[in-house]
A and B are shown apart, each in its own frame.
Chain A
Amino acid sequence: MWQTNLKILLTVLGTLGLFTLVANSIPQIASEVPEELSFSGNVSPEQLAAAGEQLFNGAGSCAACHSLGTRAPSLLTDHAGEGTIGQRCGTRVSGEDCKAYLHQSLVEPTAYVVPGFDPMVFQARTFSAAQIWSLVAFLESQGGEVTVTGNDIGASADAAPAAGGVAMTAAPASQTMDPKQLLQDNLCLGCHVLDGAGPPLGPSFDGIGSQRTADQIRSGIVDPNATAPPGYEAVKGVMPTTFGQSLTAAQLEAVVSYLAARK
């Protein structure tokens, strides 16, 4: 009996060992988390390209398609006799220099689709401006000159905050006049209950019209730290103070009217 048990045990362990060995014998590739990049204004081209290379081969997953030349144009080697990406990027679109062409291709993959290939599936919104620009720098460095500077990153960052990051400011302005959409877009529902849903960190929007006047609601939005509603003293100072600037007057009034009507 013990011999049978031993043989079974060895069969099981041998099979497990074989599979583990095989899996450890192949190239070991991890999926790294995209490193949050922070560059000063005088960052060097080499620093940018090095960060971009890391992203290209790692968390960006770019190499999965762009190093083979079958699913997407090869960027590291020659493509169609036009050279590497750094050599050909400046000639791809008339009037666009290399830097502009690469940046636009990344943030809007359908803008310039190379004939014979499908649009790229890269999702720029999951990467920060610094990460996008470092990729541009790396691609420029493949046979060309790196022209990306710290100013490019700064300009982009000012225009749009890094995607996916936690920002305690109002979201970029939208054109909608739908008050519920405005509450959603401006992250109000992250703290205030609406229709019975949401975390009750700030005063609930359900029934707020029976507790506050329209003026009080308006004041609470544009200058939330002036007074704290009873029971919410502990979170005074948490609500962003930027809604007076980010919302248009009409949007603000739409929100105020909507909330004041919730009795």
Chain B
Amino acid sequence: MSVIAAVLQQAAAGAEGMVSVRMYGGFPGPGPRVAIWIAAQVHLLFAAFVLGVPMFAVVAEAIGIFGKEEKYDKLAKEFTRLLLVSYSATAIWGAVLAFGLITLYPGVWNYLAEVFAPSMWAYVSLFFFESFTLYLYYYGWERWHDGRAKIVHWTLGILLNVFGTTVMFIANSWLTFMMSPPAEVTPDTSPGMVKFWSAFANATWMPINIHRVIANVVFGGAIVGAYAAYRFLTARTDEERAHYDWMGYVGNTIAIGALIVLPFAGYYLGREIYEFNQQMGITMMGGFMSWLWIIQAFLIGVLFLAGNYYLWVGMGRIPGAERFQSYTKYMLVILVIGVIVWATPHTMIANREELSAMGGAHHPFLGVLGVMSAKNTAVNIMILTTFLSFLLYRRANKRAVVSWARTGTMIQGAIFALAAVVVLFYGVYGYFVTAIVRIGFSVYQVLAVLFTIVAVTAIDIRMMKGAESYGTIKWGQMPPRSQYALFILAVTFTWLMGLMGFARSGIRQHWHIWEVMRDTSEYAATPPLGYAAQIISVCVLIFLTLVAFIFWVGGLAEKPILTHPRQDPLPPADPRLAPAPAGD
């Protein structure tokens, strides 16, 4: 319909000397699609960072206030400083994206503007409030540091999150509308006739909202971890090194802890995509994008390995951890096997020649391992193993003194064993039932793992109350190689976001708005994964270069946190910022 409108508008404008409307603009070099792709991806990466960091900044500040631990308040302030210097970059890339859309894709932009005009004004207004709340939150830190004023300051942090998250929800409605427009919207529907709320709260809006909120926390934690790693490696004093060692640990714990729950949000999103349109779902999981999930499995394998490696190396600075270090090699073997199984392909597009080369519809080996039964089992066992790593790390320098410590540990072990049995049982049983029954099994596997995380953590908190210490964690005494694991984590998380962004956007294929507005430009075809990977790498490189630069610039203007007059002694051994699955 908008195509018709554009044609008619052009006709009318030509006759009356008015401004003509075109569908597409040109961009030198890589073309308009790549230009928009990069602008959108880099904007999203910055936005994810500035939305994720306030969430755990405000939690850290709360621990500082209610737990009366000043070091958490300082950590929260340092988080917010990173946020402040990234904020303008987010806005700049947002403007690049908006102007890019207006000039390169005016047809789509006009359509969306007509449908979503009210929300665009709300977006701008909330962005305004968000900005000034952030300035108040950061610059008011020292002035409102004590008493009731501190609570008001903390409330500002909460408000900052509310504004930021609402802004993201609004923008999410625009992009999810392009993926899953309401059923009543057809190519013949004038954008002016589209009902605002049904377009806004479309089928994939809430799943994307939830997925992005969690992913932002993961991403923010990873970038903070990389920042801390850099500061650790370039630290000039032991005190500074200890502080950034602790900060890196907190960043990694946040990232991996939130990552553990992210797949559940992913399942929800995937299910909603299937329910909205099965063809879209099949395109995503079994069509031309089927290999994308193999790459995703490889990346998540890297994340699990790097995250666990960091923890295992970190045990070297914890007195008492030597009790557990012999277990790490077994956990490594389990993780590696899990990655191999998860990254085994199964559904792939095969032509007749390939089918005959395989001797049938399935590869004789991949056919067994590359199915969801095996993959779900592998990923759940990997999550259990990673949780065990966190648990051992947490208990490394503690000795429980409660009378029921031995029983408690045995119960914890039994819960782990039971969860592993449940996961393996349904994994194997899945080979003997129909697909629809098999899909239901993944729920039991996930529930077993979630129950383990919650129950074991609850027992551990009770059991370790008043525990004896084998000694203080020697923050700062960490081999430099461990810090490179944090860089790998940050790069991998960033790349993974780019990959999943390609998946989300690419499943629309040659539609700007799925089955409503076709992409009629010369760039309508969705490129293969290799090409997409190159663009993603360019985006990640741009983002990381800019982040490094603005953190450096921010550091020039700021007094180092550690030289602040209210500076506390070195952070003690009890990092509390870990999200629920991993911490106390």
Contacts and interface: CB of A to CB of B under 8 A. Distances in A.
Interface in A153-169: 164, 166, 168
Contacts of B192: 189, 193, 197-199
A28 B278 CA distance: 23
A56 to B, nearest CB: 10
Contacts of A121: 277-279, 282
Interface string B1-34: 1011101110110011000000000000000000
A64 B510 contact: no
Given A1-B234, A16-B541, A190-B5, A11 B487 contact: yes
A12 interface: yes
B106 interface: no
Given A30-B288, A33-B525, A235 B11 contact: yes
Contacts of B541: 12, 16
Contact of A57 (B5, B349, B525): B349
B188 interface: yes
A29 interface: yes
A19 B495 contact: yes
A171 B188 contact: yes
A27 B350 CA distance: 10
A261 interface: no
Nearest to A4: B233
B349 A22 contact: no
- Interface residues of A: mostly helix, strand, loop or mixed? loop
A41 interface: no
B540 A16 contact: yes
Nearest to A231: B16
A34 B248 CA distance: 49
Nearest to A168: B4
Contacts of B526: 30-31
Nearest to A239: B8
Interface string B287-306: 11011001100110000000
B352 interface: yes
Interface in B526-550: 526-534, 536-537, 540-541, 544
Contact of B282 (A11, A30, A65): A65
A59 B46 CA distance: 34
A7 interface: yes
Given A64-B283, A190-B4, A234 B16 contact: yes
Given A8-B487, A28-B529, A31-B506, A166 B4 contact: yes
A64 B286 contact: yes
B237 interface: no
Most chain-A Cβ atoms within 10 A of its Cβ — which of B287, B527, B530, B540? Answer: B530
Contact of B525 (A32, A71, A184, A199): A32
Interface in A13-44: 15-17, 19-20, 22-24, 26-34
A61 B190 contact: no
B491 A24 contact: no
Interface size class of A (residues with CB under 8 A): 35 or more
- Interface residues of B: mostly helix, strand, loop or mixed? helix
B294 A201 contact: no
A76 interface: yes
A15 B533 CA distance: 12
Contacts of B230: 8
Contact of B510 (A34, A123, A199): A34
A199 B491 contact: no
Contact of A20 (B294, B355, B533, B544): B533
Contacts of B540: 16
B228 to A, nearest CB: 13
B1 A11 contact: no
A238 B11 contact: yes
A23 B506 contact: no
Nearest to A27: B291
Contacts of A126: 515
A77 B279 contact: no
B8 A31 contact: no
Contacts of A77: 352, 355, 360-361
B291 A29 contact: yes
Interface of B: 1, 3-5, 7-9, 11-12, 15-16, 187-190, 192-193, 230, 233-234, 277-279, 282-283, 286-288, 290-291, 294-295, 298-299, 347-352, 355, 360-362, 484, 487-488, 491-492, 495, 506, 509-510, 515, 518-519, 524-534, 536-537, 540-541, 544
The 3 A-B residue pairs whose C-beta atoms are closest, nearest first, are A23-B533, A234-B15, A197-B192
